[in-house]
Amino acid sequence: MPDRYLSFTGTAPGRFLTRRLGLPQPAALHRWSPDRPALDGPLLPLTAGPSALDLAPVLARTGPAVDPAGAAARPAAVVLDATGVRDVDTLAGVHAALHPVVRSVAPSGRIVVLGAPLDPADHHQSAAQQALEGFTRSLGKEIGGGRTVNLVRLTDAGAAESTLRFLLSPRSAYVSGQVIDVLAAAGPVPPADPGRPLAGRTALVTGAARGIGAAVAETLARDGARVVVLDVPQAAQDARRLADHLGGTALTLDITAADAGERIAAELPGGLDVLVHNAGVTRDRRLVNMPAERWSSVLDVNLASVLRTTDALLAEGTLRPGGRIVATASIAGLAGNAGQTNYGASKAGIVGLVRSLAPRALAEHGVTVNAVAPGFIETRMTAAVPLFIREAGRRMNSLAQGGLPVDVAETTAWLADPASGAVNGQVVRVCGQSLLGA
Ligand code: NAD
């Protein structure tokens, strides 16, 4: 279902009229493509307060050319190192650094604020570092023009390289207002070919015959992975067609089968590196009208099967050390949604699973566990939503438009990257900074 309002505001008369009426102004987002793989300008590094980060060599490898003197009129990216902000006085350095440059950031540009973990023994440091969160989210809501603003909390710049590479690229076009902790003990970051970081790795994507899952399979294959496209028997033809196109294999399986994990393990005697739990269903009804079957079918696909297969594949040792699990939550699981008590419960359950399992899976199996939480993404699922609710879903975010399946896929690919071992237990919203929920 094409976004006609987005097309209309892309024309001169459309822009004129909608501006006069004070209506939202969605910008055409710069997404990754082979002929436009990087941001259209240099990166301006800034600092607020004293910093102990060894950032320069990492920024030099993240993509955009670094312009330390700020010689370019229009930076496409700004990285503000605020890890040394310890109190309200040093917090003023954030304003001092960004106030003069924020107007000059190019359309679809990126602002990444770097923060430190909150120090439980120092409430002044905690107040100032937490302040960065409100700052980031507020700037994300006001900046416009397809620009994004995110906060990364880190202690080691090298461990955050894959995260910075993602956030400072067109791949993160629909990720804004996020706070990402890159704090897990990661071990040495493997040398990677940023062009094909998943070369030699095997990835399995559930529900991959269409929609977001198909985009995830395509993106992981682009990044070098051998992909297993899993979907229900009714979708076998589409799954096989996609697998053939990607040079991967199709696996026809209902993920709710009690032995689904064991069957996946049997298909992959060589092991698995990336497990993407994407299969999901909605069966909306308000709770008063919801029969038990609607509740249980949604909980079974979206949550119970994720728990069962994860447990089985970890127990069988199918997921190799260095492995990555990426589950799919939803903003409905964070903010709640009328008519979706079953779906919201299942997706909030994913958040609980990720937060609890992540430290143990990393310590015991060397596997990270994270989730993506899509907002309004243009798929068959959202094309079926009634017109006015669909329009509200599209506009009620800082980028004033829906995301595309590829936006979720790019975020998944970053979490699946072998260099993302320090990103663990995170729930990253791919929602254009939706106004729903925190
Ligand atoms: P979709 O309905 O287009 O695709 C879902 C796929 O999962 C289908 O191919 C389906 O056959 C498969 N599937 C369903 N039950 C299965 C089962 N038991 N075993 C194996 N495969 C099964 O949905 P989508 O919009 O691409 O959504 C993908 C994921 O993203 C879901 O988890 C969904 O809840 C989540 N999500 C989507 C949006 C959105 O805006 N589209 C927003 C938030 C979250």
Taking 3-state DSSP, the helix, strand and coil percentages for the chain, each rounded to the nearest 5, stand at 40, 15, 40
What is the DSSP track for 361-429? HHHHHS-EEEEEEE-SB-SHHHHTS-HHHHHHHHHSBTTSS-B-HHHHHHHHHHHHSGGGTT--S-EEE
- Ligand 1 centroid – CA 279 distance (Å): 4
Cβ of residue 381 lying under 6 Å from some atom of ligand 1:
yes
Helix (H, G, I), strand (E, B), or coil: what is residue 101?
A: coil
* Lowest mean pLDDT segment, chosen from 370-374, 382-386, 425-429: 382-386
Cβ of residue 328 lying under 6 Å from some atom of ligand 1:
yes
The crossing angle, in degrees rounded to 10, of helices 123-143 and 88-98 is 20
- Ligand 1 centroid – CA 424 distance (Å): 23
Domains detected in the chain: 31-182 (3.40.50.720), 202-430 (3.40.50.720)
Q: Over 90: is that where the pLDDT of 184 sits?
A: no
* Lowest mean pLDDT segment, chosen from 16-20, 194-198, 203-207: 16-20
Phi, then psi, of 340 in degrees rounded to 5: -130, 40
Q: Which of 377, 397, 408, 430 to mutate to test the pocket of ligand 1 (most atoms within 8 A of CB)?
A: 377
Q: What pLDDT digit, counting tens, does each position of 215-236 carry?
A: 999 999 999 999 999 999 999 9
Q: In what order do the strands lie in the sheet with 110-115?
A: 43-47, 77-81, 110-115, 148-154, 179-182
Are 428 and 403 a contacting pair, CB within 8 Å? no
pLDDT of amino acid 69? 81
For residues 7-35, average pLDDT: 84
Q: What pLDDT digit, counting tens, does each position of 288-302 carry?
A: 999 999 999 999 999
Helices (H) and strands (E) in the chain, counts: 16, 12
Cβ of residue 213 lying under 6 Å from some atom of ligand 1:
yes
pLDDT of amino acid 192? 67
Reported confidence tier of residue 163, pLDDT bands at 50, 70, 90: very high
For residues 159-175, average pLDDT: 97
Cβ of residue 256 lying under 6 Å from some atom of ligand 1:
yes
CA-based R_g, the chain, Å: 21
Identity of the residue numbered 147: R
Reported confidence tier of residue 261, pLDDT bands at 50, 70, 90: very high
- Ligand 1 centroid – CA 324 distance (Å): 20
Reported confidence tier of residue 191, pLDDT bands at 50, 70, 90: low
Active-site residue, 5 included: no
* Lowest mean pLDDT segment, chosen from 131-145, 186-200, 284-298, 370-384: 186-200
